[in-house]
Amino acid sequence: MLYAWREWQSTLWAPVLPWLQTTADLLAKVDGIAHATPSRQLAAGCDLLVRLFRRYDKPQFGLAETVVHGQRVAITERVVLKKSFCHLIHFERATDYQQPVVLIVAPLSGHHATLLRDTVRSMLPDFDVYITDWLDARHVPLSSGRFHLDDYVAYLREFIDFLGPQVHVVSVCQSTVPVLGAVALSASGGGCTPASLTLMGGPVDARRSPTTVNDLAVSRSLDWFARALINTVPHPSAGAGRRVYPGFRQHMAFVSMNADRHLKAHVNYYHDVSRGNTGAALKHREFYNEYNAVLDMAAEYYLETVRVVFQEYSLARGTWTVNGERVRPEMIGNTMLITVEGENDDICGQGQTHAAHDLCASIEPSRRHRITVADCGHYGIFSGNRWRTQIYPRIRDLINSCHVVRICALDNEVPALK
């Protein structure tokens, strides 16, 4: 019922928003009127109303080119593997220069993979980059079946196998747990494991330094989450009838965590538009165009994640099973492990990601690296100035050093021709 009401509200606003936007644009452009304070304020009010009530579609990566060894090269975004709930995207670079392959595993926790645009942009000059692009469950028809946490892990194992043993995996936030599970299962079964594994700001052991997110997960039963947060996708969406954790509910939760900060940002935006401060207004639009674009998650996947990661701590306690097979991180041996945490992360507390080092006991200490960034929040781990200047250079150098070692090891395993 709530989902249907939300759709009805969007339909109601649909014919009004273009008129408001046209009014705002006209008042901002007309000579003479544009410089009158009341006109600017009216334009700002109309603009803000549009932004508060519009539907935000999935953004584009918009990465058309990069620089490789001083040369500008074109980027082509291509889907190389299609699964029902995820596409594997390759950012093909128009160059013959061979560089290490990196698989960025985006989180499936509300936002689209484009939230990692800055992550991808930073890595493109140095690596051959792939990323998981999780689909909005409201667009996946019921005929495609259900999507469980076990399916997520299976997808990751398939992607790693597809890219081969020289791939370097970089996972962000929610994805750290299923990524570590996928690599552990492959190691146990003698399958393909990556050359390096980077875990960034993820709840590997959510018992450590619990945050508001962690406290909420254990304050309610799983039945409560199912009753209070799960809705059915209405018609005419392609996924009509599918049970999901809706994107708009997630967005409300995101905003409520820092309500004062978001309110202040929107008030500042109104004043910036009123005063003609186009630079600040543009930065606001760019951030919230991404932040407000959310997707629905399959209900079974969401509820299983709450139970496995945040209520039972199954990975950290060694009790997690995927399709009947126990996940054993201690079986990972021939992989470099890098963990990254932000000192001020209010989503994943300190120690939650670094906990992976205790679980991956078979990896030699010299191949385990911890990065803790001072004065860094959750989003700063993978986006922004601290990511570009402090975190990424260290990850880049570690991956490159590991890549050379792995290449040499693989060459030594190849029998000499007679």
Task: For residues 120 and 138, give the distance between their C-alpha atoms in angstroms, rounded to a whole number.
Answer: 26
Query: Tokens 């552990």 identify what position?
Result: 184
Quick: pLDDT tens for 240-282: 999 999 988 887 877 887 889 899 999 999 888 888 888 999 9
pLDDT tens for 29-85 read: 664 554 557 778 888 888 898 888 888 889 999 999 999 999 999 999 999 999 999
Token duo for residue 113: 């993979």
Tell which CATH architecture fits domain 80-221+297-413.
3-Layer(aba) Sandwich (3.40)
% of the chain exceeding 70 in pLDDT? 92
Tokens in use for 182? 């996928």
Residue 111 has what DSSP assignment? B
Question: For residues 402 and 336, is the Cβ–Cβ distance under 8 A?
Answer: yes
pLDDT at 416 over 80: no
Dump the DSSP string for 389-410: IIIHHHHHHHHHHHHHHHHHHH
C-alpha radius of gyration, the chain, whole number: 23
DSSP states of 131-166 as a string? EEEEPPGGGS-GGG----HHHHHHHHHHHHHHH-TT
Average pLDDT for the chain: 91
Q: Where are the domains positioned within the chain? A: 2-55+248-291, 80-221+297-413
**In the block, which residue shows the tokens 């936030």?**
173
Residue 178 · residue 309 · CB < 8 Å: no
Cα–Cα distance between 270 and 308 in angstroms, integer?
A: 42
- The CA distances from residue 85 to 154, 175, 180, 340, 404, in Å, are 12, 15, 20, 27, 34
**Taken in order 370, 376, 381, 386, is the CA torsion positive or negative?**
negative
Nearest Cα neighbor of 242 from 147, 323, 322, 372 is: 147
Question: Given this model, what pLDDT does residue 33 score?
Answer: 53
Give this prediction's pTM. 0.90
Task: State the pLDDT confidence band at 311, using cuts at 50, 70 and 90.
Answer: very high
pLDDT single digits (tens) 82-105: 999 999 999 999 999 999 999 999
What pLDDT, in 10s, does the model give residues 338-393?
Answer: 999 999 999 999 999 999 999 999 999 999 999 999 999 999 999 999 999 999 99
